[in-house]
Structures are given as C-alpha cells and as structure tokens.
C-alpha cells in the first residue's frame, strides 16, 4: 500500500495532506498559480518530494491516490472566466436567469446595481415548445427554431450551450430532442440539459444550474486533461478524484459530465474534517460546529448527530448552482477584513476586504486601511517574523498607523483598545453567521464542539465560543489545512437524481419503482467504477416531499429502495409526518406529494486508515514571554508563548497563553484553560 495525497487548491495557497500507509500525516502549503491549478499542484508535489528526499516520479509511483479540491469552478464563475455560453429555453422565458427569485440584501439601500444574468439575454434563444405541469405537450417543439439558433451561436463562436425548458422535469422529450439536434449539427460543442443536471422544481434554480454547468465544461475539461496528462507523464498510476459540492470525492468522469458539482469544491470538505477530528477526540454525540477563517471569508458548517445538512440553494457570485451541496455558510470576515468607524462612532469590520493585494497594512504592500490581521498583530498575538510558515515578515508600525488613523483617533481610544474593538466586531459578525446556522434553525449551539480551522482562527475561537455559550473549542493540528484534511479523510460519493411527480393520494408504484431501480443501477455502476468493495458501500435514497398545498419540499429519507403498495407507502407517508413534525412542530392530514427522487451512492473510507497518530515530542516545551494586549485585563501583559510541536499529550495550559505551530496560532484567553490532545490538537475549555 502506498501513500495518499490530498490537495486543496485555494486562491492564495494550495494545501496538502500526505498520508502514509501507517496513517502518519504530513502537512504542506505551497503558493497557488492563479488560473493554473496544475502548476500549483505540481509545485506542491515537487515540494513534498523534496521534503521526503525523493524524486517526483518516485513520489507519484508510490502514490495510490491523488484527491483534489479546487476552486477552479468557483473562481471561473466569480471572475467571469467560464466559457462563452448560450441558452436555449422555452419561448417567452429568456429572462429567467435575469429575474432570479427576488429579494435584496439591504432593504433601504436603493443605490445598488442589479446584477447581470449569468448568460446575456442576446445569447438566450427562445424556441416555441411547451410542456405543462403534468408533462403533457401544450406546444410541439419548433425544430427549425432550434437549428436557426444553433447557426447563430456558431457564427458568434459560442463555446458551450445550456438547454433549459419549462417543465422538462415533467417531460424531458423536448430537451432530449434539442440535445440530439446539437449532437448532429455541432458535434464539438459541449452542452447540458436541465433535467439531467438538476431535475428540480422551480425554473430559475434549474436554468441557473444548467447554465453554470455548461459554462464550466470547457474550463474543467481543459484543467483535468492537463492534470491527467502531467500525472501520467510523471508515472502516477493511482486513482485521481475530485471533491464535489457534496463534500465527497468522485472520479473525473462524473466531474467532466457534470462540472457544476465542482462548485464549492474545497470548502465543502471542511465540515467532514471537523466531524472526523471531533470523532477522533472522543466527541460522542456527533454535534460539531466547524469554522474556517481565511483571508477574506469565514465559512461555518454544522453537524448534528454526525450529519452535515445538505441544501440546494448554494450561491456563487449571486448565481444559484442548484445541485445538492453541504450547507456551508460564508460571510465576508477574515484576516483581510477592513475596519472602519461610522459617523455615529460605531465600528464595522468587513465585508470589504484588503484581499491578498494590497492585503493588510502590515504586509507592507501598500495597504493603508486597518484589517483584522493588523489588529491581531498590534495586540501582540501574531509573531511578525513567523507568519505563514515564515514566508512573510509583518510590519507592526504599519499596522499601528492604520489603526490609529482609521479607528483609534476617530474614537479617541488607544491603538490597542481600537485593535480589540476591531477583533470584537469581526468576532460578533462570526457569531452572527453561526447563529444563522444554529439558533435561527432552532439548534442550541451550547451543546456543540467548536472546531476551529484556518491559520489564525484559533485567536478568535475561544471568544466566539464564549459568546455563544459553547464550552469547548478544538484547534486541531491540521487547522491550517483543514479542507485538505477533510479531503484526505472523506468518502467517495456522488448523487443521482430523477424528477417524477407522485402523490400519496394516487401513487403510481410502477413508475416510482422504475425510477428507483434506474437510480440503483446507476449508483451500482458508479461504485463499481470507483472500485469500492461491497462491505464499504451505502446507497441512500431520498425524495423531495411536501404536503399537498405546500410549496417548499423537505428531503425525506426513503425507508426502502422500493415502495410497495399498502404497507410500503404507509411507512413512507408516516416517515414524512414524523419529519415534518420534527422540523415544523406540526403534522397535517393532507396527502403527501413527491417531486424528485435522489440517490447518494457512498463508498466509505476504511476507518482505521483515518486514525492518524502523532510522534510524541521529546524534551520540554519552554515558553517564551511576549507582551500582549488583552481586553479582559485592560492592558498589556507578558504571556507565555508555546511551540505547539513541542507540547506533549496531556499538557495543561492556563490562560492567558499562546500556542504557535508552523501553520497556526491559538490564544487561550484569561479565564480559559486548555490541554494538548493525543492527536496534537489544542482543546480549549472556555471559562
């Protein structure tokens, strides 16, 4: 058995986790080359090979699997670098991508631009055709209009085509026919059909998912082809997988077919990392809150009883990508979040960010406005010389000047107090994001373990936990590469879906069971392809269900892979009543309607392999003292700074104290205590 390598290609850094056959893991970070994910990956692989004292070919020859999380899809959407894509839609609905679903971020702010549609209107072609809600043909397909549209697209050098028709989920015949015409007239163009990409009710979500999917095909094909070629050249013979929006890994085949599933790839693996780490630390109830703080954003996810909820309303750049994704909330709060004071003396931090360029004032790259990183530096919490694995030196003076000019002087407080206020403000925003995911949904976070990811999140984790009434927070040894760790320990999984309307009042067992059988066959073929042994397979069937008269569906787990008349249907209906009561506190007598059938095919990783062990450090960890400004004591204090790598398992620390490793730093605030876990993490008990 060889090594397994996992990579999370982010905007600034590519994080790596290398797992040896004996379960030992190594963590690495290398710079990302914008727009060229293969370069970032190979730079990292070369670095790993060098550190291990082998050549790249030897490293790859001994590598069983390479698993990749990549923001290539997310960034292509955000930066408008996806393919030039056209839309073929039902006549009369060219504006579906423009209208979206309504709503606006800030009611009172009318001085904002309305966003452009994902596909320009002039590249949207309405063709006469129409199905009704029951799948009946109201208007036959005008094939001549389809051919004319294709001719125009060719003339304009369109690179990909999205096909999305009203009610194609009830009857896909017209979409399929358009697909045939495209294949016949324009065999080279990649295209996506909405009922295949995301067979979901509500036209905007389906149209949007399809538009994004089609637009990603060329860029994803290009990148994957490049990675595959270079890997083959360098002697890689293992399995190449990608992390999808559902947090699991899958082969290149599925990703090439439905690249929309690459949305959120990377961050989507963080929830699993949090859960795995919590389990390894002996958390019994499976209630885990995972945060990941980067330079510009702060991601939160939750797992209750080990389950991370999925949803279908994920947005990238305001565009809904529509396919099931782990529910990760993102707000604009990170190290680069800019602080300011308003006319009434209130402090704000973010969502505006200094990004990597110019970056915080302390980077010395021309930034003059104060950021959260500047505030942490001024408070003494960051080592100016040991930042980002020693790759960058920070300027305390620049940070202090920025805070003085923009926060301290306007408020008439000291620079250090202003720095504390900036930190508090950003922490409050983070608390708000966590409350959105917990209290707002009736979940009490106090019974949860907070797992803190991100290089500097450990400076804020205890404060956040305290504000939320959470008792413990874990800063794991892998905090600096959390998503890469989630990839390394994640399952193989992919979803398959069919749209089919059914009602418990007149249930068509034959039709539903036919769909379920199709899904099962697809899932089995998939797990075969992924070489998953039988013992490690799961097939999770769900339906989107609601009471007759409702408009929002709940995701209902099916009790069985077939729904038999009588008892089988009664069980299914009862399962919905129970679910509805759990979520909304009431049950009704109305018939239950089903709009969509889904299968999640899972290949579980071997559990023992995920149990990493740590080599106990030898010798004593001697702390050094550093002057740190602490709001709790209203001034500076000399507090001990420990080298995390030198702390032995079980060592107890009493706050205030700082723990630094190569990639992370954590603060044990006054009144809190902490101990080093068997896996080398820091468990802070919040006082």
Give residues in contact with another protein (CB under 8 A).
91-96, 98-104, 106-114, 120-122, 130, 132-134, 138, 155-156, 166-167, 201-204, 342-347, 411, 421, 424-425, 428, 431-432, 435-436, 439-441, 467, 548-552, 583-586, 631
132 sits in the region (left: phi over 0; alpha: psi -120 to 50; else beta) called beta
Residues 6+ apart with CB under 8 A from 349: 333, 337, 338, 339, 372, 422, 425, 426, 429
Q: Which is nearer to another protein, 99 or 613 (CB)?
A: 99
Question: Cα–Cα distance between 223 and 225 in angstroms, integer?
Answer: 5
| Cβ at position 147, least distance to another protein in Å | 19
Q: Which is nearer to another protein, 219 or 349 (CB)?
A: 349
**Of 514, 535, 515, 537, the residue nearest 525 (C-alpha):** 537
Q: Which is nearer to another protein, 124 or 473 (CB)?
A: 124
Q: For residues 73 and 266, is the Cβ–Cβ distance under 8 A?
A: no
Q: Which is nearer to another protein, 1 or 586 (CB)?
A: 586
Rg of the chain (C-alpha set): 26
Q: Which is nearer to another protein, 34 or 136 (CB)?
A: 136
| Cβ at position 111, least distance to another protein in Å | 6
Question: Cα–Cα distance between 181 and 584 in angstroms, integer?
Answer: 46
* Ordered alpha helix ranges (H), 260-338: 270-280
Instruction: Please state the φ and ψ torsions of residue 346, each to the nearest 5 degrees.
Output: -95, 140
| Cβ at position 135, least distance to another protein in Å | 12
| Cβ at position 87, least distance to another protein in Å | 13
| Cβ at position 638, least distance to another protein in Å | 24
Question: Cα–Cα distance between 139 and 530 in angstroms, integer?
Answer: 43
Q: Which is nearer to another protein, 213 or 427 (CB)?
A: 427
Angle (deg, nearest 10), helices 461-468 and 415-437? 60
Q: For residues 12 and 31, is the Cβ–Cβ distance under 8 A?
A: yes
| Cβ at position 639, least distance to another protein in Å | 21
Q: Which is nearer to another protein, 37 or 423 (CB)?
A: 423
Exposed, middle or buried: residue 364 (CB in 10 Å: 0-12, 13-18, 19+)?
middle
User: Using the 8-state DSSP alphabet, how is residue 99 labeled?
Assistant: H
Q: Would you call 139 helix, strand, or coil by DSSP? A: strand
Q: Which is nearer to another protein, 81 or 440 (CB)?
A: 440
Q: Which is nearer to another protein, 109 or 305 (CB)?
A: 109
Question: Cα–Cα distance between 165 and 438 in angstroms, integer?
Answer: 37
Q: Would you call 267 helix, strand, or coil by DSSP? A: helix
Q: Which helix (H) or strand (E) element contains residue 27?
A: strand 25-31
| Cβ at position 588, least distance to another protein in Å | 8
Instruction: Please state the φ and ψ torsions of residue 459, each to the nearest 5 degrees.
Output: -75, -20
| Cβ at position 432, least distance to another protein in Å | 6
Q: How far is CA 31 from the centre of its chain?
A: 20
Q: Which is nearer to another protein, 21 or 133 (CB)?
A: 133
Q: Which is nearer to another protein, 517 or 583 (CB)?
A: 583
Angle (deg, nearest 10), helices 173-185 and 143-155? 40
Q: Which is nearer to another protein, 284 or 551 (CB)?
A: 551
Exposed, middle or buried: residue 539 (CB in 10 Å: 0-12, 13-18, 19+)?
middle
| Cβ at position 373, least distance to another protein in Å | 20
| Cβ at position 113, least distance to another protein in Å | 5
Q: Which is nearer to another protein, 431 or 488 (CB)?
A: 431
Q: Which is nearer to another protein, 350 or 490 (CB)?
A: 350
| Cβ at position 138, least distance to another protein in Å | 7
| Cβ at position 119, least distance to another protein in Å | 11
Q: Which is nearer to another protein, 232 or 511 (CB)?
A: 511
266 sits in the region (left: phi over 0; alpha: psi -120 to 50; else beta) called left
| Cβ at position 30, least distance to another protein in Å | 38
Question: Cα–Cα distance between 90 and 141 in angstroms, integer?
Answer: 9
Q: Which is nearer to another protein, 70 or 425 (CB)?
A: 425
Q: Would you call 278 helix, strand, or coil by DSSP? A: helix
| Cβ at position 567, least distance to another protein in Å | 25
Q: Which is nearer to another protein, 83 or 475 (CB)?
A: 83
Cβ atoms < 10 Å from Cβ of 15:
26
366 sits in the region (left: phi over 0; alpha: psi -120 to 50; else beta) called left
**Of 324, 107, 83, 89, the residue nearest 197 (C-alpha):** 324
| Cβ at position 126, least distance to another protein in Å | 8
As a whole number of angstroms, the longest Cα–Cα distance in the chain is: 80
| Cβ at position 206, least distance to another protein in Å | 9
Q: How far is CA 677 from the centre of its chain?
A: 27
| Cβ at position 84, least distance to another protein in Å | 10
Instruction: Please state the φ and ψ torsions of residue 361, each to the nearest 5 degrees.
Output: -55, -35
* Ordered alpha helix ranges (H), 105-198: 143-155, 173-185, 194-197
Q: For residues 64 and 238, is the Cβ–Cβ distance under 8 A?
A: yes
Q: Would you call 525 helix, strand, or coil by DSSP? A: helix
């Amino acid at each position: 058995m060889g090594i397994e390598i996992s990579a999370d290609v982010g905007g600034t850094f590519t994080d790596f986790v290398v797992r040896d056959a004996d379960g030992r893991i190594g963590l690495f970070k290398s710079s990302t080359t914008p727009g060229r994910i293969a370069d970032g990956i190979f730079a990292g692989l070369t670095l790993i090979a060098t550190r291990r004292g082998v050549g790249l070919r030897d490293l790859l020859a001994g590598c069983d699997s390479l698993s990749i999380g990549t923001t290539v899809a997310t960034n292509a959407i955000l930066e408008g670098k996806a393919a030039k894509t056209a839309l073929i839609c039902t006549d009369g609905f060219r504006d579906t991508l423009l209208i979206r679903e309504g709503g606006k971020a800030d009611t009172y702010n009318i001085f904002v631009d309305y966003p452009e549609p994902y596909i320009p209107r002039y590249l949207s072609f309405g063709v006469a055709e129409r199905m009704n809600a029951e799948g009946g043909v109201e208007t036959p397909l005008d094939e001549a209009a389809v051919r004319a549209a294709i001719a125009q697209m060719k003339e304009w050098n369109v690179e990909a085509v999205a096909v999305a028709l009203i009610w194609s989920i009830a009857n896909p015949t017209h979409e399929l026919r358009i697909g045939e015409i495209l294949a016949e007239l324009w065999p080279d163009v990649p295209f996506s059909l909405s009922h295949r990409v995301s067979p979901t009710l509500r036209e905007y979500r389906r149209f949007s998912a399809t538009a994004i999917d089609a637009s990603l095909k060329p860029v994803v094909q290009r990148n994957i082809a490049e990675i595959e070629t270079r890997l083959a050249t360098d002697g890689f013979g293992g399995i190449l997988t990608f992390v999808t929006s559902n947090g699991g890994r899958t082969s290149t085949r599925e990703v090439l077919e439905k690249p929309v599933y690459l949305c959120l790839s990377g961050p989507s693996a963080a929830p699993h990392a949090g859960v795995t780490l919590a389990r390894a630390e002996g958390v019994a109830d499976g209630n885990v809150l995972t945060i990941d703080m980067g330079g510009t954003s702060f991601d939160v996810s939750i797992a209750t009883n080990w389950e991370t909820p999925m949803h279908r309303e994920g947005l990238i750049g305001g565009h809904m990508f529509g396919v099931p994704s782990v529910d990760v909330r993102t707000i604009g709060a990170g190290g680069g979040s800019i602080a300011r004071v308003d006319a009434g003396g209130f402090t704000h931090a973010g969502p505006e960010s200094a990004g990597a360029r110019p970056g915080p004032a302390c980077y010395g790259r021309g930034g003059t406005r104060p950021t959260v990183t500047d505030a942490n530096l001024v408070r003494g919490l960051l080592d100016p010389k040991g930042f980002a694995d020693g790759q960058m030196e920070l300027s305390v003076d620049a940070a202090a000047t920025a805070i003085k000019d923009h926060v301290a002087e306007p408020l008439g407080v000291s620079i250090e107090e202003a720095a504390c206020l900036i930190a508090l403000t950003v922490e409050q925003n983070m608390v708000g994001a966590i409350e959105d995911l917990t209290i707002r949904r009736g979940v009490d976070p106090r019974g949860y373990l907070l797992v803190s990811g991100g290089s500097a999140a450990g400076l804020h984790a205890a404060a956040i936990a305290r504000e939320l009434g959470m008792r413990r927070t874990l800063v794991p040894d892998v905090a600096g590469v959390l998503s890469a760790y989630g990839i390394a320990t994640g399952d193989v999984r992919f979803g398959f879906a069919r749209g089919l309307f059914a009602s418990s009042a007149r249930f068509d067992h034959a039709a539903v069971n036919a769909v379920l059988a199709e899904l099962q066959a697809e899932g089995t073929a998939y797990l075969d392809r992924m070489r998953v042994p039988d013992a490690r397979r799961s097939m999770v069937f769900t339906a989107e269900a609601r009471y007759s008269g409702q408009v929002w569906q709940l995701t209902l787990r099916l009790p069985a892979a077939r729904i038999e008349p009588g008892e089988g249907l009664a069980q299914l209906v009862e399962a919905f009543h129970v679910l509805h009561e759990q979520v909304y506190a009431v049950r009704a007598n109305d018939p239950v309607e089903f709009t969509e059938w889904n299968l999640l095919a899972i290949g579980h990783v071997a559990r023992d392999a995920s149990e990493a062990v740590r080599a106990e450090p030898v010798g004593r960890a001697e702390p050094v003292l550093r002057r740190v400004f602490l709001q709790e004591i209203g001034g500076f204090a000399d507090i001990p700074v420990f080298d995390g790598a030198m702390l032995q398992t079980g060592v107890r620390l009493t706050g205030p104290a700082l723990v630094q490793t190569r990639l992370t730093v954590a603060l044990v605030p006054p009144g809190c205590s902490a101990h080093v876990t068997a896996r080398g993490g820091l468990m802070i008990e919040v006082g």
